[in-house]
Structure 1
Amino acid sequence: MPLMKTYYVVKPLIPRRVQLLLRRMRMRRMLPGCRHAWPVCPRAGRAPDGWTGWPGNKRFALVLTHDVDTSRGQDRCERLVSIEEKLGLRSALFFVPERYSVSSSLRHQLVSRGFEIGVHGLKHDGKLYSSREVFENRAVRINHYLRQWNCCGFRSPAMHHNLDWLQRLDIAYDASTFDTDPFEPQPQGMGTIFPFHVPGNGDHDGYVDLPYTLPQDSTLFILMKEKGSGIWREKLDWVVRHGGMALMLTHPDYMEFDGRPAFDTYPAAHYQEFLEYVQSRYAGQYWHALPRDVARFWLTHQTKQEELTDYAEPRGHTLHA
């Protein structure tokens, strides 16, 4: 964590192109040693104890989420959700309350159209977990936005997380983890493609954690420079075979809807092509749900089964300060 703190101190001084170049170099060095656990971590496919299946006896769950990191991303939200609407799909969009001016009209419009809104950190400056005091102070503001926006979901920027500290938030679910992603600042994955319940600690009731289980778009298309959705399809097929949750995390900030992509964007067509693949190959076989609905389902069905056995933290899970 000290190295991470140093990085976020100097990050504003490093040009964006240089940041991406350094991250690409790091990924190229790491990738050969990660093939055994990414994009597929074999042990993550084991169903939790007492698992009885998804609603409607569907083979898997499909959950679409987006982090809106900047005002540029907010400006592109309409183009993004229009793709999903045309396919009869809906998603959850997580906005950063105090990094840019979040449009209240956009939030209300999205909700009225069947989309979900969530809170994405507070300032997106890498300092949320820098100390317990900082987190406690910011938790007050985050809870304010959760109430003001009438939402129940949270995701930390850069997938930083401390599942114990998150008890301070008034949430039904957190989405700041992943099954496997060795390229993240906190690389320890949860080791599961299923949701899991984080029990309360006395003062709080606990919450459901929803790990993303398909690689982030920024990893595939900005850092790895993939030319299509092949890795997404490969991972999805594996998740389906194991009956898990296919939870996507993409960013409208990085999607290019017109013209030639820039150094830090990719064609939005990659995302649309993947959604069309899901619908054509697995028509009628998946439960398409918003994160809040998955959390509600897990709390009312699977959590009862988990409580019948001694609770164990998900495989690979460590708490980080």
Structure 2
Amino acid sequence: MVNSALLDYYRCPETFADFTLTGNLSGDSGYFQFGLDAICYGQCSGGPLARHATGELYDALRDVGADQNTLGLPFNPSEIIANLRYERYASSGHEVGARRYAKLALQRAYYSVRPLLMVSVRKYLQRIQLRDWKEVPFPNWPVDLTVERILGKLLATLLKANLIDRIPFIWFWPNGYPSCAMITHDVETAAGRNFCSRLMNLDDSCRMKSSFQIVPEDRYSVPQSFLDEIRLRGFEINVHDLNHDGRLFNNREQFLLRAERINRYGREYKASGFRSAALYHNLNWYDALDFSYDMSVPSVGHLEAQRGGCCSVMPFFVGKILELPVTATQDYSLFHILNQYSTDLWRRQVAQIMEAHGLASFIVHPDYLIEARARDTYKSLLAFLENLRSEGKVWLALPREVNEWWRARSQMKLVCQGNNWVIEGPQNDRARVAYAVLEGGRLAYVLDSHQASARRMVFRNGQISSSAARQPGVLTESRLIQALPLGLETKRNEQIF
């Protein structure tokens, strides 16, 4: 369906998103843009497609038209969104893909000897490998919001065409929270495993709960007492690859054999989530994984072994698995590639993610927090996130809680009752009706003033509970939220329509 990506993202009634294709799509795929700040990759029936994401690109926004209640598009937005999320723009023969696949052999060789290398040697080799990261033009670093911009522009274009004055949808996060954040800890070595108790103490000191991703084989022993402590203290356990050798996705046959063992460890650990080593991934193979969610795809992969990125800061489904993208720079890259021991970059990324009401997802390794300087930086991050929570600006959640909410939201629907829209479906008491409107040529969101007050999230004894009181900063009733500047100038769009 042409409108399926928008309907899944916003959970709005289908009658508000009637799209049609204005011509036959091109046989080949390439780059074009949808407005000045949204690069697309895929097929199009309009102007010429570019082989690279740089230079002057055909702007498909010029060829959008309105016919009564239908918006005519020269491209299929659902195909374009899927191409970005699945990183099809990074295929062999294109700008990102050529660099990406040329390095795979070297990366695999590196991982075969990685356990034998000192951290200083690893840092040196990885800096050489990633030395061109600033030259990668797409996705946009340090945060890429291309998916959010495309979908937002579609809503804004509908509104700008005067087809409707507002579009109802189901707000992204429970209880009207503006955005979400979660912290995950990948345990790579025995030293990191031994530091986990201290790390849980550190997280608890800031009233934070997080997940620990455990490597089941070869790296270190995994005693039951270790798993029990994590679980009993209210933290979460997930599976981290099989043996962290960087070869999980080398070939399909080997992957299927390893996936059977990974799934077995998932059942043994009672784990709902999975993350691969070094964020290697192949979404086309995920049907073999028996997990509820995955956390192996970065929004922007400039500093990762596998270049690319899903170009989004929101969860999305890959078949039956929910992908929770990594949207903040990993601690290893921050400390050892960029040589930064401050939270400046993380704060900048959080600000951009919150602007899009997205998910700020962090990877922080206990292995690297053994160093006092790195640990102090992490403490500053915890204090920063705790302050955002106290102001009601972010929902701090475990990955499994994000997964449970997003799955529940995917089953909700808006139903018109009289003059009001109501939400039906699981956990609808936590959901909020919102409206997309235009304010001064910008897309904005406003929560329904007819809803009951948002529940306040309260932290007691290490657990999140809710009350009926309204929390300052949580989005409630008719409070307006400015969204992304979409570059839709009135004069320009009057010419289009």
Verify same fold: TM over 0.5.
Answer: yes
Task: Give TM-score, length-normalised by structure 2.
Answer: 0.55
| Residue 120 of structure 1, CA deviation | 0.2
**Cα contact 1:73–1:253 (8 A) shared by 2:** yes
Q: Percent identity?
A: 35
| Residue 47 of structure 1, CA deviation | 8.4
**Cα contact 1:48–1:194 (8 A) shared by 2:** no
Map 1:52-67 to 2 at 5 A: 52-67=171-186
| Residue among 60, 78, 93 paired with 2:197 | 78
Structure 1 runs of 4+ aligned residues shifted over 6 Å read none
Matching residue's letter, 2:380: E
Map 1:222-261 to 2 at 5 A: 222-256=336-370, 258=372
Matched, 1:299 2:393: no
Structure showing the higher strand proportion among its residues = 2
Tell me, what secondary structure is at the counterpart of 2:266? helix
Shift of the 161–113 alpha-carbon distance from structure 1 to 2, 3 Å rule, reads same
| Residue among 379, 386, 392 paired with 1:272 | 379
Matching residue's letter, 2:292: A
Shift of the 48–101 alpha-carbon distance from structure 1 to 2, 3 Å rule, reads farther
Task: Give TM-score, length-normalised by structure 1.
Answer: 0.84
**C-alpha RMSD of the superposition:** 2.2
Matched, 1:37 2:157: no
Task: Between the two structures, name the one with larger relative contact order (CA 8 Å, sep ≥ 6).
Answer: 1
Give the equivalent residue in structure 2 for 1:166. Answer: 286
Matched, 1:185 2:305: yes
Shift of the 15–76 alpha-carbon distance from structure 1 to 2, 3 Å rule, reads closer
Matching residue's letter, 1:7: Y
Tell me, what secondary structure is at the counterpart of 2:283? coil
Matched, 1:22 2:129: no
**Cα contact 1:45–1:239 (8 A) shared by 2:** no
Matching residue's letter, 1:61: C
Instruction: Compare CA radii of gyration and give the structure with the larger one.
Output: 2
Tell me, what secondary structure is at the counterpart of 2:123? helix
Shift of the 174–35 alpha-carbon distance from structure 1 to 2, 3 Å rule, reads closer
Give the equivalent residue in structure 1 for 2:327. Answer: 213
| Residue 7 of structure 1, CA deviation | 3.2
Stretches of structure 1 lacking an aligned partner (at least 5 in a row)? 200-205, 259-265, 306-321
Matching residue's letter, 1:251: H
| Residue among 105, 110, 120 paired with 1:2 | 105
**Cα contact 1:44–1:179 (8 A) shared by 2:** no
Stretches of structure 2 lacking an aligned partner (at least 5 in a row)? 1-103, 153-168, 414-497
| Residue 65 of structure 1, CA deviation | 0.5
| Offset from partner CA, 1:102-138 (integer Å, 9 cap, x none) | 1321211111111000000011111211111111111
Shift of the 44–72 alpha-carbon distance from structure 1 to 2, 3 Å rule, reads farther
Aligned length in residues: 292
Matching residue's letter, 2:400: R
Tell me, what secondary structure is at the counterpart of 2:172? coil
Determine the C-alpha separation between the residues in 2 that align with 1:219 and 1:303.
Answer: 37
